[in-house]
Amino acid sequence: MASHEFTSIRSPRIKGVRRLAKRTFRQRERRFLAEGPQAVREALTAASGGDGRPRGAAPGVVEVYATAEAMQRHIDLVDAARAADVPTHRVSLDVMSELAQTVTPQGVIAVCEFVDVPLERLGDVRLVAVLSHVRDPGNAGTVLRTADAAGADAVIFTDASVDPYNGKCVRASAGSLFHLPVVVGVPVARAVDFLRGAGARVWAADGSGSRDLHGVADGGDLDGPVGWVFGNEAWGLPEEVVALTDGAVSVPIYGGAESLNLATAAAVCLYTTARQQRRS
């Protein structure tokens, strides 16, 4: 479609897009911003059905904004957007700085429809990450990216966790937000009940857990469907959440480090499970 150029940050259209940086407006319009060529590329690929992954709902890219320089550098994105009849607008550097949520914008942003799906639409699952009381968007996005890389079937953001459409979370996911089903806003107890109903064992990742990850793996408790519940970056999981699961499992530390951060612990748990499931 023909490109429209925006040069004023006072444009009502630009102000409307900029408001999507706030959660209230995102939820009202069920739209969010994907910033940077990687995120925009993955959004366009998913919207066209070219990602090769089954989804509970097809995401949509509403429109793309890019500077003249970015259009030249990422001509493949412009071509993909226009081939999909996604309006592509050229903007000035001042306008891009207004829209971007990064210190050094990469010159391209897409307005996307929400991609989350209802919990009941997940179907059969083998490996699922549940984020309970995870408040840091960077950590949440990194766990989402790791779950995607480990071949997880879904990521569940409970009602006590950060918004997955937060700009920092979207960027940290490096496009993985568009690769696998994401469930948003369900109570952790409901998520655990669903996973149990799907035949999964549910483990709580906790640094003070009484069971060792390697021992759980060696005992065959990761061979079947598994759900992992990951907690807050600072204080872990509340006792009442751990009580909902099949037990608290810690990642063994063989050196002098006091602990692992959330994203690293999640990576170890998810990849250990993926390996066990593939071996079995």
Report the distance separating Cα 93 and Cα 29, nearest Å: 26
State the pLDDT at residue 89. Answer: 95
Question: By residue range, what is the domain housing residue 36?
Answer: 5-113
258 in the same domain as 123: yes
Task: Give the per-residue pLDDT at 58.
Answer: 45
Which tens digit of pLDDT belongs to each residue from 181-229?
A: 999 999 999 999 999 999 999 999 998 888 999 999 999 999 999 999 9
Query: Model-level pTM?
Result: 0.92
CATH for 45? 3.30.1330.30
Domain count, the chain: 2
Q: Are residues 103 and 131 in the same domain?
A: no
Question: Tens digits of per-residue pLDDT, 8-30?
Answer: 999 999 999 999 999 999 999 99
Q: 124 and 109, same structural domain? A: no
pLDDT at residue 179, as a whole number: 92
Residue 145's pLDDT is what? 97
Of 148, 143, 80, 149, the closest CA to residue 108 belongs to 80
Residues 137 and 275 in one domain: yes
**Residues 77 and 135 placed together within one structural domain of the fold:** no
83 φ, ψ (degrees, to nearest 5): -65, -30
Among 195, 258, 198, 260, which residue's Cα sits nearest to residue 228? 195
Q: What is the CA radius of gyration of the chain?
A: 20
Same domain, 98 and 125: no
Q: What's the pLDDT band for 3 if we cut at 50, 70, 90?
A: low
Picking from 86, 113, 140, the residue at the C-terminal end of a domain is: 113
Residue 268 binned pLDDT confidence (cut-offs 50, 70, 90): very high
The SS3 of residue 169 is helix
Same domain, 179 and 233: yes
Last residue of a domain, one of 85, 113, 141: 113
- The DSSP output letter for 252 is -
For 95-112, how does the pLDDT look when each residue is reduced to its tens digit (9 = 90+)? 999 999 998 899 999 999
Residue 272 identity (one-letter amino acid): T
Q: Rounded mean pLDDT of 31-58?
A: 76
H-assigned helices in 11-67: 12-18, 23-29, 37-47
Q: Of 93, 113, 133, which residue constitutes the final position of a domain?
A: 113
pLDDT, position 50: 58
Q: Do residues 210 and 254 both lie within one domain?
A: yes
Shared domain for 92 and 123, answered yes or no, is no
pLDDT for position 207? 85
Could you list the beta-strand ranges (E) of 179-236.
Answer: 182-186, 201-205, 211-212, 226-230
How does pLDDT run across 52-78, given as a tens digit for each residue? 544 434 468 999 999 999 999 999 999
pLDDT score recorded for residue 59: 62
- Asked if 249 and 217 count as a contact pair (C-beta separation under 8 A), the reply is no
250 and 124 part of one domain: yes
Mark whether 138 and 165 lie in a shared domain.
yes
Is residue 269 over pLDDT 60? yes
pLDDT of 91 above 90: yes
Task: Count other Cβ atoms within 10 Å, centred on residue 79.
Answer: 12
What was the pLDDT predicted at 2?
44
Q: Do residues 123 and 240 share a domain?
A: yes
CATH number at residue 275: 3.40.1280.10
Mean confidence (pLDDT) of the chain: 92
